[in-house]
Chains A and B, each alone.
Chain A
Amino acid sequence: MSYTLRGRIESRLAPLLFTLALALVLAAAERAWWPLQLAAVMAGVGLTLDVLVYHPVLEYQPGWLALPLGTLELGLTMLAARALGVGAPLAPAVALFAAGWLAAQVLGHAVLPLARLTYAQDGGELGRAGIGVAAAVVAVLSGAAGTAYAMRPPVVHLAAGVHRGPLVIGERETLVGEPGAVVRGGIVVRASDVTIRDVAVVGGANGIEVDEAQNVLLDGVFVSGAQLDGIHVRRSSVEIRDCTIDSGENPWAQGIDISFSYDLPPSMVKGCTITGGREGIVTHSVQAMLVGNHVRRTQLRGISVTEMSMGMVEHNDVHDALGIGIYCGDRSMCEIEHNVVSGTRIDHASGDSSRLGFAIEAWWESEAALKDNVLVGNPQGAGSFSSSRIHWPR
């Protein structure tokens, strides 16, 4: 068909109504916004290509071209979705795109030519219906955007100064600390969809405790002086970014402990600096990504992935750990790549041969895949114990 520009746009928007309807159903079923976000990205990519590429380049578009163009649009849509941070799982996202593409083919080749006598000769234009279609698409997308905006958690600003804790967060909210805001006595999170940003926490049994919550973001928090864990996560899914945790010389404190959420979406710890304490970052029965963290002066291990956890440990810097730098234990599976482990010390007092200053260690039927790690100034390099395996994939 030789589309006019208006025809291209209207023929793009008509099947998009179907895609949006599908995305609405999917969003309701999944209780997630990604289907609608992905549909909006599909619309944006498609319309951009229509205006900037297809219309100027393709004076006539043969039917067979739908397949390569669809593949191109799929690739660009996925790239754009990733760049825009749309958290769409791959398989359902491709399925939604494919359903939309198929709807476009059926509509363009059968339904619209049947419904509108002049569809082909008008270059894909839909007449007055085209305006209605465009209005409907805009209405659905802006309605979804408005709903998402209205459903954002309330933002609570924590004023500068010391606030007496523990603060208990039992409803979805975003807690933002003004510069100089300090909570003394800890924060407890017991609700999903909570964000804590730029808050300093001093003391408390645990600095920040997250219990049975999902979609929790701890961004730029500073924790010091906790009696046990700096950040203590149980049966939850969290993202912890750019935190600073100082456990000092407390022999029982752990910087970050994420445990018992293997069946929940993966957690992530990224860009944190953790100093002192017993373990820097430890996971028990969790799927976790530990990326780009700096761990210093721990008394038991720098980073621990243990008790049947699956962990990606990448681009971390572990220095001056006593006994073990990075540990993969108790039937865990670990990918340990691009880390720097330096200055690990021998734990003479333990009398334990597995704590003789190993930079990386696998223990008790665990599997650790090592790649491109830099191990400097450690008494031992990588070691495996109790039926564990370490391998170096090429």
Chain B
Amino acid sequence: MRVAIVGGGLAGLCAYATLRHGGLEPDEIVVFGDRADPTEAWVARARAIRQQRMRSESDGHVAATSFPGLAVRTALRRRSPAPLALSVCNRYRPTVDEFLEHAARVRARSGWDESFVQRRIQHVRAVEDGFELDGRNRFAHVLLALGHPGLARPPELEGDPRAVHAYEPHEYADEVEVVGAGMAAATEWLNALAAGASVVSVRRREPERRPLNLPRPLFTRRGLAAFHRTDRDARVGLLRSYSAPSYPPGRGWDEPLRTPRFRVAAELNGAPQVICATGFRHGFAEDEVLRRLAEDHELETADRWLVLAPDSTVPALTDETRTLSLAGVQAQWAYPAADTLAGAKYAARGFLRRVQRCRTR
């Protein structure tokens, strides 16, 4: 076996489905991960914030080809054109349950379980013609889909018994402060208000309002071409600006906030419950596998990002005989929306091209 995916989450499943679509057999691929269910980590966070619908649209799925999207699949299943009409107007948001059903089907059909090995990889090291994982297994082509390196909490709330992260299971007190202003925070405002709580949104800057977490041209070559042409400092600046919090526009988000029980504040004020909707820790150095990889091989970095080629590969460790690719949030240097399903597929397709091009696969 010559191809390995390190990481058994959604990005890993996208990569696996893409490799299978590209003609690789299950016995040619090994997937290393903590949990056999590729949706488990993601669904725990979605359940924690009581997420009902996806932020992504019809093509936010884990299958290899963008068609048929979730709108088409739902329309066929329900025998209704409504999802298609909504999708044409960019107003189709699949439910979390629809997405999970789809992911389960892809998992079953792709043969994921045949390739899955339950093991957490601690160390990736480049060797001649490939990569050694934990000093044991060697692979010519490795895709690292390691996921987020952990939940981010404001330092001043570390150890504070009132504080809970939005992505951890929780109920709501009568008065809740929600720190952050992104999608998770907005979801928590609505959840807490629906539960009868008074809500204070603690934020230092106003969130942007956009349907997806980045402007749409950045999902295709149109926006990416300019992004890839930027020099190192400019790209760091862009990536920092892209990390500004945002959530979708629409009355569904705005109407519930028009109540005296909701207000905005710049500082915490001593409420009995503080929900940290502050996302994840940022940067390759927060991930032990990537930090060691960068140190061992003196990889080029820029600020908190590993410098990658436009196809999400690590340039110093990729050539005609071997490939090291990154997928997920750590691949933002190549694809700013890397932490989305579209980003996972972008990396997977680049990885597949490299694998197919290599005669010694």
For the complex, is A373 an interface residue (Cβ under 8 Å from B)? Answer: no
CA separation between A2 and B226, bound complex, in Å? Answer: 13
Question: Which residue on A lies nearest to B217, using beta carbons?
Answer: A2
- Give 17 A-B pairs besides A60-B215, A114-B67, A121-B346 with Cβ atoms closer than 8 angstroms: A1-B220, A2-B216, A3-B220, A7-B222, A63-B89, A113-B65, A114-B65, A117-B18, A117-B21, A117-B22, A117-B64, A117-B352, A120-B220, A121-B220, A121-B221, A121-B345, A122-B220
Residues facing B in A312-370 (CB within 8 A) are none
B68 at the interface (CB under 8 A from A): yes
Chain A CB within 8 A of B225 CB: yes
The answer, yes or no, to whether A152 is at the interface (CB within 8 Å) is no
Complex-state Cα separation, A110 to B59, whole angstroms: 12
Q: CA separation between A109 and B89, bound complex, in Å?
A: 14
The closest CB in chain B to the CB of A65 belongs to: B88
Bound-state Cα–Cα, A121 to B228, Å:
14
CB distance from B233 to the nearest CB of A (A): 25
Query: Which residue of the partner chain B has the closest CB to A60?
Result: B216
Bound state CA distance, A110 and B65, in angstroms?
Answer: 10
* 12 residue pairs A–B, Cβ–Cβ below 8 Å: A1-B220, A2-B222, A60-B215, A60-B216, A62-B89, A62-B90, A63-B90, A64-B89, A114-B65, A120-B66, A120-B220, A121-B349
What are the interface flags for B329-361 relative to A under an 8 Å C-beta threshold, 1 for contact and 0 otherwise?
Answer: 000000000000010011001001000000000
Query: Is the Cβ of A119 less than 8 Å from the Cβ of B222?
Result: no
Q: Could you list which residues of chain B lie within 8 angstroms of chain A, going by C-beta atoms?
A: 18, 21-22, 59, 64-68, 87-90, 215-217, 219-223, 225, 342, 345-346, 349, 352
- Distance of B336 from chain A, by nearest CB (Å): 13
Is there an interface contact between B222 and A109, defined as CB atoms closer than 8 Å? no
Given A4-B222, A59-B222, A110-B68; A117-B217 close (CB under 8 Å): no
Main secondary structure of the interface of A (DSSP, over half): loop
Residues of A within 8 A of B219 (CB): 2, 121
Are the C-beta atoms of A59 and B65 separated by less than 8 Å? Answer: no
Closest residue of A by beta carbon distance from B335: A121
Q: Indicate whether A125 reaches chain B with its CB closer than 8 angstroms.
A: yes
Bound complex: CA A63 to CA B71 (Å): 13
**Given A2-B223, A113-B67, A120-B59, are A60 and B88 neighbors across the interface (CB < 8 Å)?**
no
Interface residues in A39-80 (C-beta closer than 8 Å to B): 59-60, 62-64
Closest chain B CB from A125 CB (angstroms) = 7
How many A residues face the partner with a CB closer than 8 A? Answer: 22
Partner of A2, one of B21, B68, B88, B220: B220
Check A123 for interface membership: any CB of B closer than 8 A: yes
Question: A residues touching B (Cβ–Cβ < 8 Å)?
Answer: 1-4, 7, 59-60, 62-64, 109-110, 113-114, 117-123, 125
Q: Using known A-B contacts A2-B223, A117-B18, A121-B342, determine if residue A62 contacts B88 with beta carbons closer than 8 Å.
A: yes
Provide the bound-state CA to CA distance between A387 and B22, in Å. Answer: 80
Chain A nearest CB from B235 CB (Å) reads 19
Q: What's the nearest-Cβ distance from chain B to residue A50, in Å?
A: 13
A138 to B346, CA, bound (A): 33
Residue of A nearest to B343 (CB): A121
Taking CB as reference atom, which chain B residue is nearest A55?
B222
A60-B217, A121-B346 given as contacts; is B90 within 8 A of A4 (CB)?
Answer: no
- Give every chain B residue within 8 A of A3 (Cβ-Cβ): 220, 222
On whether the beta carbons of A122 and B67 are closer than 8 Å, the reply is no
Contact A117 B221 (CB under 8 A): no
Given contacts A113-B66, A114-B67, contact A63 B87 (CB under 8 A): yes
